[in-house]
Chains A and B, each alone.
Chain A
Amino acid sequence: EPEVTQTPSHQVTQMGQEVILRCVPISNHLYFYWYRQILGQKVEFLVSFYNNEISEKSEIFDDQFSVERPDGSNFTLKIRSTKLEDSAMYFCASSEEGQGNSPLHFGNGTRLTVT
């Protein structure tokens, strides 16, 4: 069964550094998402992406965050200058359709630790 893959599985970085989290969505999916989960807490929406542009973003997704689909397979999340509170598990997801009953398919996540 096709799956969403994320790399790296764990990233440690110092406060103020830039990080790029990488994802390969399922190949025939058109809608891409980033969610994050601070340890033991709720799954929070960050951003959705379709047709090479952001379709929706949350308040968390400020100017320090950006997303990109640099080629036909990768989908990346960049945090420009990391803060301690960015430490979380970041999940990429993709969906065949952009609404209704089409489910999200999640990757296994990247654990980001900011020191």
Chain B
Amino acid sequence: GNSVTQMEGPVTLSEEAFLTINCTYTATGYPSLFWYVQYPGEGLQLLLKATKADDKGSNKGFEATYRKETTSFHLEKGSVQVSDSAVYFCALRGYNFNKFYFGSGTKLNVKP
């Protein structure tokens, strides 16, 4: 079946620290992979995506590389800010199916 597994949170970092949030997936075929971010009281916003193996998605200093050999799509940022505090969701969607599968979300707290 199709599923996404994320590291459990919360993750607490100091400002300017390096961030990694792990995400691995199981899927039939060749899915597209996404990271969404949810700020307090808001909906999910697309952060970045990658559509095939070895693609790197990037946005706002965040990046993630689609690794088919390890079925992973880890989110990284070199220097986090307080404003990055949010919940981050990894998700996949198959080439030939409609539904998105979401991970359980990882809460990030960045302290000044």
Q: Measuring CB to CB, which residues of chain A are less than 8 angstroms from any residue of chain B?
A: 4, 31, 33, 41-43, 45, 48, 50, 55-56, 91, 98-109
Contact = CB atoms under 8 A, between A and B. Distances in A.
Nearest to B97: A99
B98 A106 contact: no
Interface string B84-112: 00000100011111111111110000000
Contact size range, B: 20 to 34
Interface of B: 32, 34, 36, 41-46, 49, 51, 89, 93-105
Contacts of B96: 99-100
Contacts of B51: 100-101
Nearest to A44: B102
Contacts of A109: 42-43
B102 A42 contact: yes
Contacts of B49: 101, 103
B100 A55 contact: no
17 contacts: A43-B44, A43-B102, A43-B105, A50-B98, A56-B98, A91-B44, A99-B98, A100-B94, A100-B96, A101-B32, A101-B93, A103-B49, A104-B44, A106-B43, A106-B44, A108-B41, A109-B43
